[in-house]
């Protein structure tokens, strides 16, 4: 039976850190007026508190294409930065603050977060991390599951392009995405299971709900999942990118991957579904090395530079980028792979400051300054 082509509309969610502009430390108790003013000025979008008081989450409205998403995300970043600035705070679109200590932070006093804090204990108290989620509309639920099964292969490639969390509590972690290490301590994370049908997926959720271990599907924190609220396939594993162009590129590439997989299905073809352990190995390589790593090409099998695999994906999705009108954004992934991610720039800024005679603490402040600047650059 043929399935109607999905709309492939998109929505982008980003989590931001609020930083005291005097100390460059995380703002422990930012004014509630920030959220209230953002909500008032951005009625078409979503601005909500996150688990920690030091965070905000934003979400675009449903966007028909990447041009609309660009306008929406730009408006969100501009407005949040402007409002926060009135309160002496800056906005960091990066997944980890380089020298914050989770022991000093406070979680948002909200029933949902109180329950999470009670249930997850220390694993969630350490959660001073931010991510980017991309929703892509796949209206047919069976197709949503089929595309999730196949698209899981590409998740490590998207993570590699996004890495922005090389530090943890004032130390170099040695990883380009330390955020994933923190997040993976939670249950129900990682590469999604493979399902034969939407019914099988629904039964998994029902089992956990009936057993009392989760309230609904929104507590399933896989790297990709069918949304519990919208007819979308939600990609959740990426670090948040300081440069808005990088965020848009990853969102566009994700949409094109899904459209490419749908196109294959329409032609009675499909992407090979690899064992979860193999995909998880590439996920680890991306987490450790970012775009400087060599991901495994399972068809050979051999390690291949991430930049070469990104180039291959750009080629595979060229027809889909043209169809969705996002050729420029998809091509930008090539630039990310060439010059590195935020994690690479943060590490370079840190070592440059040390070489110039800065103390370790001063060098970490330089990293914060760089991310603050990049978060609002290119928004005009």
Q: Which helix (H) or strand (E) holds 108?
A: none
Q: What are the boundaries of each domain within the chain?
A: 10-376
CA dihedral for 309, 178, 58, 133, sign (positive or negative): positive
1, pLDDT greater than 60:
no
List alpha helices for the chain, DSSP H: 32-41, 66-86, 111-120, 122-125, 141-151, 155-162, 178-183, 198-211, 244-266, 276-289, 306-316, 318-324, 327-339, 342-355, 360-376
Residue 286, token pair as written in the block: 């991306």
70 pLDDT band (50/70/90 cuts)?
Answer: very high
The reported pLDDT for the residue numbered 380 is 67
* DSSP string of 271-313, one letter each residue: PPPPPHHHHHHHHHHHHHHGGGSEEEETTTTEEEEHHHHHHHH
Cis-peptide into 301, omega within 30 deg:
yes
Name the 3-class secondary structure at 137: strand
Backbone angles phi, psi at 55, to 5 degrees: -125, 155
The reported pLDDT for the residue numbered 322 is 99
122 pLDDT band (50/70/90 cuts)?
Answer: confident
Summarised one tens digit per residue, pLDDT across range 213-225 is 888 888 899 999 9
**Closest of 242, 100, 238 to residue 171, by C-alpha:** 100
Could you tell me which CATH number the domain at 10-376 has?
3.30.590.20
Summarised one tens digit per residue, pLDDT across range 136-157 is 999 999 999 999 999 999 999 9
227 CB neighbour count, 10 Å cutoff = 19
The reported pLDDT for the residue numbered 191 is 97
The reported pLDDT for the residue numbered 90 is 98
Alpha carbon distance 244, 264 (integer Å): 30
Average pLDDT over the chain, rounded to whole? Answer: 95
pTM, whole model, 2 decimals?
A: 0.96
The reported pLDDT for the residue numbered 59 is 97
Arithmetic mean of pLDDT, 233-255:
99
* Cβ burial 358-376 (10 Å sphere, 16+ → b, else e): eeeeebbbbbbbbbbebbb
Summarised one tens digit per residue, pLDDT across range 336-356 is 999 999 999 999 999 999 999
């Amino acid at each position: 039976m043929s399935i109607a082509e999905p709309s492939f509309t998109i929505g982008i969610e980003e989590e931001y850190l609020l930083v005291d502009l005097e100390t460059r430390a995380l703002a422990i108790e930012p004014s509630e007026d920030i959220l209230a003013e953002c909500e008032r000025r951005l009625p078409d979008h979503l601005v909500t508190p996150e688990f920690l008081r030091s965070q905000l989450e934003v979400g675009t409205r449903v966007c028909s294409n990447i041009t609309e998403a660009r306008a929406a995300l730009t408006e969100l970043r501009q407005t949040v930065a402007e409002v926060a600035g009135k309160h002496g705070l800056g906005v960091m679109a990066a997944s980890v603050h380089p020298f914050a200590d989770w022991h000093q932070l406070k979680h948002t006093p909200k029933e949902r977060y109180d329950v999470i804090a009670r249930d997850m204990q220390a694993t969630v108290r350490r959660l001073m991390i931010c991510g980017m989620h991309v929703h892509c509309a796949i209206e047919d639920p069976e197709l949503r599951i089929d595309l999730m099964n196949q698209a899981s292969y590409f998740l490590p490639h998207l993570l590699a392009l996004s890495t922005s969390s090389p530090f943890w509590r004032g130390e170099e972690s040695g990883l380009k995405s330390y955020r994933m290490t923190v997040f993976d301590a939670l249950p129900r994370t990682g590469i999604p299971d493979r399902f034969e049908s939407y019914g099988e997926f629904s039964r998994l959720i029902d089992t956990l709900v009936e057993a009392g271990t989760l309230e609904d599907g929104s507590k399933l924190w896989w790297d990709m999942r069918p949304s519990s609220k919208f007819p979308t396939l939600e990609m959740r594993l990426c670090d948040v990118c300081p440069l808005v162009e990088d965020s848009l590129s990853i969102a566009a590439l994700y949409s094109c991957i899904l459209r490419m997989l749908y196109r294959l299905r329409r032609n009675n073809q499909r992407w090979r579904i690899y064992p979860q352990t193999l995909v998880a190995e590439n996920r680890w390589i991306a987490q450790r090395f970012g775009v400087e790593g060599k991901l495994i090409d399972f068809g050979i099998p051999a390690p291949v530079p991430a930049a070469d695999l990104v180039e291959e994906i750009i080629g595979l999705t060229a027809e889909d980028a043209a169809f969705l009108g996002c050729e420029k954004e998809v091509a930008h992934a090539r630039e990310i792979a060439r010059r590195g991610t935020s994690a690479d720039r943060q590490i370079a800024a840190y070592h440059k400051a040390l070489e110039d005679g800065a103390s370790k603490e001063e060098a970490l402040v330089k990293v914060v300054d760089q991310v603050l600047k990049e978060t609002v650059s290119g928004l005009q």
